[in-house]
Amino acid sequence: MTRDPSAAIRINAEDIRRRKGGVPIVCLTAYTYPVARLLDPHVDLLLVGDSVAMVLHGHATTLGASLDMMIAHGQAVMRGSAKACVVVDMPAGSYEASPAQAVTAARRIVEETGCQAVKLEGGVDMAVQIAAIVAAGIPVMGHIGLQPQSVEKEGGYRIKGRTEENIAALFRDAEAVEKAGAFSVVIEGTVEAVAAKLSHHIPIPTIGIGASADCDGQILVIDDMVGLTVDRVPKFVKEYADLRSVVADAAARYAAEVRSRAFPGSDHVFTTAPGKDEI
Ligand code: KIV
């Protein structure tokens, strides 16, 4: 098991569960050590989402995530954070086959990263997996509504809660996830009024993304939130910065200075003068 020197002060899954109906829970995804360090003071929960496969590795969907990938990024985020509750996504193919498969993968994630909890997608269909992981002593965050791991099966990113039949299914999913023992649940890509009703209906915190301000917390993908996303930015994203322009501008100025030999300048080279050779 990875040693976590911050365990005493870290927010854990039970702390998050107790936040139902209280001050909104601030969540962001994180995949790397430096970003985790920057976000940790500001958030309650860092999710090492399987969106890492798209955001950092350039895959077309989250189906490109593997267990090894999630564990490597989970370890980096744990090293870079001290306070946030760190949740690591279970990638597609690591849990759906059986409760035993789900427990084996969840154990590997927790033992090799030291994270506080795992997250998996699914409602009624994954309730036995959630119950088995919780029974093994590992807290689980659910994920209902739009489920990106099902995007190929569904033929695209389809918003949920637009028909009576689907609304009823969402309520069954939310109840199943809660009864299976999840400490919280992400509601993604769901009609605002339906997400709000779901949130008021179940006794565990709901974390919205493309859902409702009435959810108990909100999450965004970090690269979307800081304006680093180079492909299509989803409608539900608010960009709080424009790092695309910052990075492109820095790269253009660097390229010009390298080509004109203005970089490196005298401040960025070493001389024979004593005491001036520190990196
Ligand atoms: O993988 C992810 O980043 C997620 C969040 C968007 C909820 O599941």
Query: With pLDDT > 90 as the criterion, what percentage of the chain qualifies?
Result: 93
Interval 210-227: pLDDT, tens: 999 999 999 999 999 999
At 203 the pLDDT is: 98
**Mean pLDDT along residues 49-60:** 97
Q: How far apart are the CA of 27 and the centre of ligand 1, in A? A: 10
Task: Mark whether 188 is an active-site residue.
Answer: yes
Ligand 1 atom with least separation from CA of 49: 1
Strand pairing class (184-188; 206-209)? parallel
Q: Is the CB of 49 under 6 A from ligand 1?
A: yes
What are phi and psi for residue 256, nearest 5 degrees?
-65, -40
Which residue is closest in CA terms to ligand 1's atom 4? 49
pLDDT band at 272 (very low <50, low <70, confident <90, very high): confident
Mean pLDDT, the chain, rounded, equals: 96
Would you say 198 and 190 are in contact if contact means Cβ atoms under 8 Å apart?
yes
Please enumerate in sequence order all residues whose Cβ is within 8 A of that of 19, keeping only pairs 6 or more positions apart, or say none: 25, 44, 205, 216, 217
- Please indicate whether residue 43 or residue 275 has the higher confidence score (pLDDT): 43
Question: Using H for helix, E for strand and C for coil, what is the string for 155-167?
Answer: CCCCCECCCHHHH
To test ligand 1's pocket by mutation, which of 77, 219, 224 has the most ligand atoms within 8 angstroms of CB? 219
At 3 the pLDDT is: 53
pLDDT of 38 > 70? The answer is: yes
pLDDT band at 273 (very low <50, low <70, confident <90, very high): confident
Q: Is the CB of 186 under 6 A from ligand 1?
A: yes
148 preceded by a cis bond (ω within 30 of 0): no
**Mean pLDDT along residues 226-242:** 95
At 114 the pLDDT is: 98
CATH match of 5-242 with 3.30.450.20: no
What does each C-alpha distance from 167 to 125, 144, 172, 188 come to in angstroms?
A: 16, 12, 9, 13
Q: How far apart are the CA of 49 and the centre of ligand 1, in A? A: 5
Q: What letter does residue 191 receive in the DSSP assignment?
A: -
pLDDT band at 63 (very low <50, low <70, confident <90, very high): very high
Is the pTM above the cut of 0.85? yes
Ligand 1 atom with least separation from CA of 29: 3
What are the sequence ranges of the domains in the chain?
Answer: 5-242
Residue 39 token pair? 């976000």
**Mean pLDDT along residues 196-205:** 98
Q: How far apart are the CA of 174 and the centre of ligand 1, in A? A: 17
At 231 the pLDDT is: 86
What number of helices (H) and strands (E) belong to the chain? Answer: 11, 8
pLDDT of 2 > 60? The answer is: no
